Structure 1
């Protein structure tokens, strides 16, 4: 169905997503069993059975295994258009969990039963082709899930619940997020933050799941996608604006991440509109 999808998955053993990704739609991740780590932007969350995460549009994220094998989860996706019939003030209320500083909610056993019932209802309906009134059915259950979560956030007022990071590492990531358009090299960053390049490389990978270069390139490609989607700026200018040394390097890295060249991406986006 256009604008909405829900998928369960049960994995045996240890599993880590092969790479970070981001997308132009909302994602809800609910863990039915197991223990995981989940990176969203520059934060790492430890999640257990009954944990739910709200990943906003275009937020970089990745699921990583912990020391516990086996897990089962639901992933639910929906587009901005799916809730179009609601007024802006209503949408702001419905989408509040995605805008909260803490992306995680931990439900108690009673709440888990309610949330899982909603998810299984959505999944059963999703597997019924051409169900009568499907969009309205999905919308009603999705709004219940989001409002229930928003109320819990407001009632509990949780502080950040991500795993504590090395304070220096938090500063480094924040610096990268702000200055990725500049010439950011591992050696220069190490010198600026008074640590060795070798130690920074290992710390960065352990803390974020990214290599330093992967993280910077992902930030740059995400900004390039926005410029390709929203402007008519030339490729060579986009390449320069997001921090690539030359347009050929930009084209190569863009295709590695998106599986399309920048020109193909722009044509694809405009054709969808």
Structure 2
């Protein structure tokens, strides 16, 4: 790989970047049929990114203007080639620095802050189904593995969130592998397609190994695993009225111990877990019952309608009335 040649390409200003640098306004450099802009959300389909049977599209994110909230209908990987940036996902700010990787599940709504001259963000768009089939055909006969085993982020890392960050703060680094993929993609030669596939396979294997090492469930001692299961069961059964004091007393633990245990094992507070369960139940009731939103707020355990609206929007990125209207529209179609 010619590192200098790759850096020269990525740091060179594109025509779009020159305009954005001058006007500081984001420019959509796609044909109109490939996206839909409605209610402040830019939704992009695969028309302009993938040819038939392709599974990978790589693009440098244009600098000098903030990118508005948008989503793709396929898995997205944002790789910080150099510099830094901030992305906002469902109201949560994620800071990325050189070497960091952000995985976004299909449909994840996110915005990207304006990038400076030395901030190079590379976007990988991945068609999950196509990439599984293609890489499996490459490995068949000499690797006894399945794509479900080597790409846990397709199943496990999106289990609790719509995104996952791999930080470049460990000895195991993905930079060289991803840089090789980018180079072969932009400067294709004989066997470039095969080299890209091999490096992608290596990247997925490294990702799987990193995930195995950092997976909370695999590191839990038997006692902790049982306690976490008990807490989860209590939250699922009694989320409407459950308090930290009640669950601590029921499980015979100090309230502060339970609070710290939950935070250490899940990365969330007890209140956050309760609210996630409550708004999930509220979402089902809004879509499948005729209860008013005020009634639903009370039914799932919120004492304040304002607080309910705030939590609902935090998790779904829109107000409850949006889902009620959508549900009614779908019903009328039947």
TM-score category, normalised to shorter length = 0.5 to 0.7
- For the residues of structure 1 that align with 2:195 and 2:181, how far apart are their CA atoms? 8
List per-residue Cα deviations over 1:148-203 (Å, max 9, x = no partner).
11111112334655799734431233225655641375333323233443443234
The partner residue of 1:138 within 196, 211, 216 is: 196
- Point out where structure 2 has 5 or more consecutive residues left out of the alignment: 1-50, 159-163, 217-264
- For the residues of structure 2 that align with 1:164 and 1:13, how far apart are their CA atoms? 38
- For the residues of structure 1 that align with 2:60 and 2:317, how far apart are their CA atoms? 24
**Structure 1 pair 34–26 and aligned structure 2 pair: CA distance change class (3 A):** closer
Is the 1:44–1:163 Cα contact (8 Å) retained in structure 2? Answer: no
Match in the other structure for 2:296 = 189
**Structure 1 pair 15–173 and aligned structure 2 pair: CA distance change class (3 A):** farther
**Structure 1 pair 198–179 and aligned structure 2 pair: CA distance change class (3 A):** closer
Q: Does 1:94 align with 2:145?
A: no
Is the 2:76–2:124 Cα contact (8 Å) retained in structure 1? Answer: yes
Is the 2:152–2:211 Cα contact (8 Å) retained in structure 1? Answer: no
**Structure 1 pair 99–9 and aligned structure 2 pair: CA distance change class (3 A):** same
**Structure 1 pair 172–245 and aligned structure 2 pair: CA distance change class (3 A):** same
Deviation at 1:147, TM superposition (A): 0.9
The partner residue of 2:281 within 147, 172, 175 is: 175
Q: Does 1:116 align with 2:223?
A: no
Is the 2:285–2:296 Cα contact (8 Å) retained in structure 1? Answer: no
Q: How does 1:75-94 map to 2 (within 5 A)?
A: 75-79=123-127, 80-84=129-133, 85=137, 86=139, 89-94=145-150
Tell me the TM-score normalized by structure 1. Answer: 0.60
List per-residue Cα deviations over 1:216-253 (Å, max 9, x = no partner).
389x7xxxxxxxxxxxxxxxxxx88xx83311xx8xxx
The partner residue of 2:108 within 39, 61, 67 is: 61
- For the residues of structure 2 that align with 1:165 and 1:22, how far apart are their CA atoms? 31
Number of residues of Structure 1 aligned to a counterpart in Structure 2? 214
Is the 2:282–2:296 Cα contact (8 Å) retained in structure 1? Answer: no
Report which of the two structures shows the higher radius of gyration computed on alpha carbons: 2
**Structure 1 pair 177–186 and aligned structure 2 pair: CA distance change class (3 A):** closer
Q: Does 1:157 align with 2:208?
A: no
SS at match of 1:100: coil
Deviation at 1:106, TM superposition (A): 2.0
Q: Which has the higher contact order (CA 8 A, sep 6+)?
A: 1
- For the residues of structure 2 that align with 1:217 and 1:144, how far apart are their CA atoms? 45
- For the residues of structure 2 that align with 1:64 and 1:7, how far apart are their CA atoms? 16
Deviation at 1:93, TM superposition (A): 1.9
**Structure 1 pair 173–200 and aligned structure 2 pair: CA distance change class (3 A):** closer
RMSD of aligned residue pairs (Cα, Å)? 3.9
Deviation at 1:52, TM superposition (A): 2.4
**Structure 1 pair 45–105 and aligned structure 2 pair: CA distance change class (3 A):** farther
The partner residue of 2:79 within 26, 30, 38 is: 30
Tell me the TM-score normalized by structure 2. Answer: 0.51
Match in the other structure for 2:165 = 104
- Point out where structure 1 has 5 or more consecutive residues left out of the alignment: 221-238, 251-273
- For the residues of structure 1 that align with 2:324 and 2:210, how far apart are their CA atoms? 36
Match in the other structure for 1:204 = 312
SS at match of 2:174: helix
Deviation at 1:76, TM superposition (A): 1.3
